[in-house]
Structure 1
Amino acid sequence: MSFLESHQEQLWTKRFIILIICNLLLALNLQMVLSAFPLYVKETFLANDFMVSLVTSLFALTAIVTRLFAGEMLRRGKLPFVMIVGLLASAVATISYPFAGSILFLLVMRVAYGFGFGMASITFPTMASYAVPIRRIGEGMGYFGLSGSLAMALGPMIGLWILADLGFTTLSVISTILLILIFPLLFIMRRIRKVSSRSASLPQESVQASPASQASSDADVTENTQKSGHFFLDKKIWLPCMLNMFLAITYGGLLSFLALFGKEMQLANVGQFYLYNALMIFLVRPVSGRVFDRKGHQAVLIPGALFVMISMLFLAFTTSVGGLIISALLYGAGFGMIQPSIQAWLIKEVAIEKRGMANAVFLSATDLGVAVGSMLLGLVATLYSYSVMYGVSALFMVLFLIAYLLFLWTERMDRKQNSESS
């Protein structure tokens, strides 16, 4: 193997590690505040379940719309601008939450945060997809996704603890500091890239001939794009995004109502769900990425969907902390298999210049699912109970399996037809 080939296959570069840390800080900022909002809004503004879900869904819907424009800006080489504006808007909105004297002003701040987070959140996975060798994309994005999974698991637990012991204002300040810490990390990464480019011993023409080397500079990649049709007309992206949305609907029900469900069922330390969920994700995600690279998405998506479905059914009938932990382990196993595999699948389906837009659509599908899950499942909880709500949540994973199995059957029929015609 030549030096160039070994360089292209290297996964754990300094740049990749810094990107993981940056994404962790951004995701922690989101999850710590998001988990505390239902209790804060309900107790401070005496809001009902629908209004609680609106606080979550309005942010998510704003992020969805923002990403569509931000993804196009990435394609045109505006990644630094998108990243900085997004981080600054997110920080300003986060520090402003405690000053909201009414729920209307709070909703305005959530819109502002959705705008900022929608921009910032697509930059780091896009940069990571450029830094990861394409032959290790499943493994690489699986490891990168652990930062988001860790934030999903620990963020809500930390947020609820800070809210209970120190108050919402302290939570807002700490969450803002997390975003500020990203800026020196970006400066360090920029310095590392400059030093690496100066000390590189490879001939310049050899580096430019390598797609992996071209991807080392995000601006260069996006500025040298070739138009290959309209992204949104590409049928290959719709199924992965729809499947990701179904998964995110179940997560929306957990994020918005798990703390309230714990109160209804008189379960102590309901935050343990996130801890055990994180533990399982950490065990499963690196393995599922390698399985994806070797055997394809069908080897991980089907068992992952079954795990999530069983988890939701288990949660719907649980009356003890032990049942809560079992549900968390099952959910972590399924989530750890599904989400990084869908993201890697989507990235492999598009040209390199469209990875920014692919990540935008992937994350927007996640936010759309969270928004739909929060509002629709919140309505179910209002009419019936949280237990019934989680039973309904399991039905979305049934839809996941039906859609995916139908896709596999259609692909098989197409291959059979093509082989018979040839």
Structure 2
Amino acid sequence: MKPLETLKQSPERLWTSSFVTLTLCNLLLFTALQMTLSTLPAYVEDTLHGTSVQVSLVTSLFALSAIVARLFSARAMEKGGRNLLIFLGLAILLTALAGYYFTGSILVMLLLRVLFGIGFGMTSTAFPTMASDVIPVRRMGEGMGYFGLSTSLAMSIGPLIGLSLLQGPGFGSLLLGAAAALALILPLGFRLARSLPAGHQEPHEAPASASGSGASRRLLLPCLLNFLLSISYGGLLGFLALYGAERQLPHIAYFFLFNVVAIVIVRPLSGRIYDRFGPAALLIPGSLFISAGLLLLSYASSTAALFPAALCYGIGFGSMQPALQTWMIQSVGPRQRGFANGMFFNSLDLGVAVGSMLLGVIALYTSYAVMYRYSILAPALLLAVYLAILISGRSTKPGITHLSS
């Protein structure tokens, strides 16, 4: 990395080969995740004859184990253990995928979900932290917006591919496709290991231990908002396929396809909006779009009706998620970016886990349509909390600690 003085005077190039490679690795990682995350609940219910509670555990146990893994991964990142996290995490992920194919027991499946979560927690901490190190400081919102596009695209195309393979060639082809996506990361990871340093630290930066408690306090609000944002997404991942069966919608996977359209449209703009106006310009309208998308989804009775629902949800989620991640990265110093990214994904996974569990209980006593209407409470609460902070006069702007001397 260039010294800060040189960085201010030189052209701030975003699309370097390292940034493109990291973005592609992240896309492949999250595509493999989403291919299985959206399909395993239906597989467990239909093939392993699991109950609704066991189905929700398939998602929540994965998320909780990923959270625990990231707590240790953030420390490894500070000590320069990025390459170890990437390759060990990929090995664990591939091992768990192989285990899915041979298991015929719900208990073993749940144990493998814990193993998969550990591998994913390790790998998913490394890539965004490395990306935040190669993005120019003053283009952080735009850069993380483009990098986050890989996550959001995977959240849409992954379920679409996974559900299509599960309903077509079958479960084995689904696992083979996910394994192929992970295997493609290996040569790209070796390239990154040769081209990027083990870590990065700006001049005048305090050691991580000295400012860790302050960083944690600065991250509390965006973590809470990200948690609330992710609750409804847990309902989509865990139960959308089952909702399609309930409503007799054979092409329910098209929701994720239409979601891609919205994300591709909004993501390049959202990063620039963030850099110019801050998080409020994205979080407030985004909450309203997500609420509208969930409401429209709950009343969908045809494939055509999925389009406006997915469009609204994609605009909201696709603009809010990178805004929150950039906010968290800009609130800490460069050496703590691993910690900030870990907190971002932990709050996301915790929201998915809690959402899957709570919404699964609601669906058990009502229906999946009613469940999606209840899930609107999450973005509504997000909006209420954020507006309350704004009205109280407290600052909700990220403190860009790495620019201070």
Deviation at 1:389, TM superposition (A): 0.4
Structure 2 residues not aligned, in runs of 5+: 398-405
Output the amino acid matched with 1:226: P
User: Is 1:226 matched with 2:207?
Assistant: yes
Deviation at 1:219, TM superposition (A): 2.5
Worse-superposed segment, 169-178 or 59-68: 169-178
User: Is 1:405 matched with 2:387?
Assistant: yes
**Residue matched to 1:153:** 156
Q: For residues 339 and 141 of structure 2, what CA distance do their matches in structure 1 show?
A: 18
Q: Could you list the per-position Cα deviations for residues 354-384 of structure 1 after superposition, in whole angstroms to 9, with x for gaps in the alignment?
A: 0000000100111001101111001000010
Give the TM-score taking structure 2 as reference length.
Answer: 0.92
User: Is 1:334 matched with 2:316?
Assistant: yes
User: Is 1:164 matched with 2:152?
Assistant: no
**Residue matched to 2:17:** 14
Task: Give the one of 356, 367, 381 matched to 1:385.
Answer: 367
* Correspondences of 1:7-406 after superposition (within 5 Å): 9-191=12-194, 193=195, 217-221=197-201, 226-227=207-208, 228-231=210-213, 234-406=216-388
Percentage of pairs with the same residue: 47
Worse-superposed segment, 160-169 or 359-368: 160-169
Deviation at 1:230, TM superposition (A): 2.6
Deviation at 1:139, TM superposition (A): 0.5
Q: Could you list the per-position Cα deviations for residues 117-153 of structure 1 after superposition, in whole angstroms to 9, with x for gaps in the alignment?
A: 0000010000000010111111000100111111111
Q: Is the 8 A contact 2:99 2:112 kept in 1?
A: yes
Q: Could you list the per-position Cα deviations for residues 299-336 of structure 1 after superposition, in whole angstroms to 9, with x for gaps in the alignment?
A: 11100011001111111222222222111000000011
Worse-superposed segment, 139-148 or 73-82: 73-82
Q: For residues 271 and 351 of structure 1, what CA distance do their matches in structure 2 show?
A: 40
Deviation at 1:64, TM superposition (A): 0.6
Aligned residue for 1:277, secondary structure, equals: helix
**Residue matched to 1:203:** none
Give the TM-score taking structure 1 as reference length.
Answer: 0.89
Q: Is the 8 A contact 2:157 2:256 kept in 1?
A: yes
Larger Rg: 1
Q: How many residues matched?
A: 391
Deviation at 1:399, TM superposition (A): 0.5
Deviation at 1:278, TM superposition (A): 0.9
Q: Relative to 1, partners in 2 of residues 1:245 and 1:304: Cα closer, same or farther, differing over 3 Å? A: same
Deviation at 1:232, TM superposition (A): 7.2
Q: For residues 373 and 283 of structure 1, what CA distance do their matches in structure 2 show?
A: 27
Deviation at 1:6, TM superposition (A): 6.4
Output the amino acid matched with 1:13: T
Output the amino acid matched with 1:29: A
**Residue matched to 1:204:** none
Q: For residues 254 and 153 of structure 2, what CA distance do their matches in structure 1 show?
A: 14
Q: For residues 9 and 326 of structure 1, what CA distance do their matches in structure 2 show?
A: 38
Output the amino acid matched with 2:305: G
Q: For residues 280 and 7 of structure 2, what CA distance do their matches in structure 1 show?
A: 32
Deviation at 1:235, TM superposition (A): 2.0
Output the amino acid matched with 1:406: A
Q: Is the 8 A contact 1:74 1:222 kept in 2?
A: no
Output the amino acid matched with 1:319: S
**Residue matched to 1:208:** none
Aligned residue for 1:45, secondary structure, equals: coil
Q: For residues 313 and 199 of structure 2, what CA distance do their matches in structure 1 show?
A: 38
Deviation at 1:101, TM superposition (A): 2.3
Output the amino acid matched with 2:197: S
Worse-superposed segment, 71-80 or 226-235: 226-235
Alignment root-mean-square deviation, CA: 2.1
Q: Is the 8 A contact 2:241 2:253 kept in 1?
A: yes
Aligned residue for 2:211, secondary structure, equals: coil
Aligned residue for 1:174, secondary structure, equals: helix
Deviation at 1:220, TM superposition (A): 4.5
Worse-superposed segment, 62-71 or 168-177: 168-177
Q: For residues 254 and 34 of structure 1, what CA distance do their matches in structure 2 show?
A: 10
Deviation at 1:413, TM superposition (A): 8.9
Q: Relative to 1, partners in 2 of residues 1:156 and 1:12: Cα closer, same or farther, differing over 3 Å? A: same
Q: Could you list the per-position Cα deviations for residues 173-227 of structure 1 after superposition, in whole angstroms to 9, with x for gaps in the alignment?
A: 2211211111111223344x2xxxxxxxxxxxxxxxxxxxxxx634243998613
Output the amino acid matched with 2:261: L
Q: Is the 8 A contact 2:215 2:332 kept in 1?
A: no
Aligned residue for 1:57, secondary structure, equals: helix
Q: Is the 8 A contact 1:123 1:356 kept in 2?
A: yes
Q: Relative to 1, partners in 2 of residues 1:373 and 1:409: Cα closer, same or farther, differing over 3 Å? A: same
Q: For residues 392 and 232 of structure 1, what CA distance do their matches in structure 2 show?
A: 35
Deviation at 1:5, TM superposition (A): 4.6
Deviation at 1:406, TM superposition (A): 1.1
Output the amino acid matched with 1:36: T
